[in-house]
Structure 1
Amino acid sequence: MTPIRRYATAPGVPAAVGPYVQATSAGGFVFTTGQIPAAPGQEIGTFADEVRATLTHLAAVLAEAGSGLDRIVKLNAFLGSPEQLDVYNQVYETFFTDHRPARTTVCVGLWGVALEIDCIAVTGPGGDA
């Protein structure tokens, strides 16, 4: 049986604000909790800055779990407004140049944050086939 590992806090990433971990790995995959730009209520600049911060947090959580942005197979993004999509895509493209995972992007009401991103990635050695 494959062990399940839980990652509570990755370096440089805001701590969980509830009873959950930042990621769980099992069966060669890592499943991340939704990452946000900063601690709730803390503003960090433009929406582009928030997208960069969120993807940087996601990268740190994945690294803690033995994976990386280039190992993502599915990414879900939750934006607070449809008007954010163009800026989101512009920043997103700078993080995913060669490896573009399957992706879902939806607009939803969020609790005081501009966006939230979670993903599923593979762990361990190897790369794209």
Structure 2
Amino acid sequence: MQRHADIPGMAEAVGPFSQSVVANGFVFVSGQIPTGVGGIGDQPEDFESKVRRTLENLRSVLEAAGTDMDHVVKCNGYLTRPEQLDTYNQVYAEFFADSRPARTTVGVNLWGVDLEIDCMAVLPGAGS
């Protein structure tokens, strides 16, 4: 098993967890939020940019673990308001246009952020 806790160019984890864990040909990515290197205070203003930053963070974690967005098999999205869904879907489609992983999206109450996304991916060559 391989764990990635501190990924260069990303904000430090805000708790005792790894950004990703690689096990049995899968990559399990912890929930990513729209923060930059500066942490929770370093977030874009508008929701579309927040979704984009969150998915870019997700992509960075996947690449550090040895995979990419095309190998994602399942995503979970957590939004704070129902009216965010259309914007979320629009930006999400840019990142997953061809691969279209399985997905769950729910409304939740998050602290200090408007969304969070986690995922599972396969390592290239490990799955079909």
- Specify the TM-score bucket, using the shorter chain as the normaliser: over 0.9
Distance in 1 (alpha carbons) for counterparts of 2:10 and 2:54:
9
Compared CA separation, residues 89 and 66, structure 1 to 2 (3 A) = same
In structure 1, stretches of 5+ residues that fail to align are none
Do the aligned partners of 2:71 and 2:124 also contact (CA within 8 Å) in 1?
no
Alignment of 1:73 onto 2:70: no
Do the aligned partners of 1:12 and 1:57 also contact (CA within 8 Å) in 2?
no
- The 3-state SS of whatever aligns with 2:14 is coil
Alignment of 1:53 onto 2:50: no
Distance in 2 (alpha carbons) for counterparts of 1:36 and 1:43:
9
Distance in 1 (alpha carbons) for counterparts of 2:8 and 2:115:
20
- Per the TM alignment, residue 40 of structure 1 is displaced from its structure 2 partner at its CA by 1.8
Cα deviation 1:49-99 (Å, max 9, x = unaligned): 000000000000000001111100000000011110000001011111111
**Counterpart residue number, 1:100:** 100
Distance in 2 (alpha carbons) for counterparts of 1:43 and 1:65:
24
- The 3-state SS of whatever aligns with 1:33 is strand
**Counterpart residue number, 1:34:** 31
Of all paired residues, the percent bearing the same amino acid is 54
**Counterpart residue number, 2:3:** 6
Q: RMSD of aligned C-alpha atoms?
A: 1.3
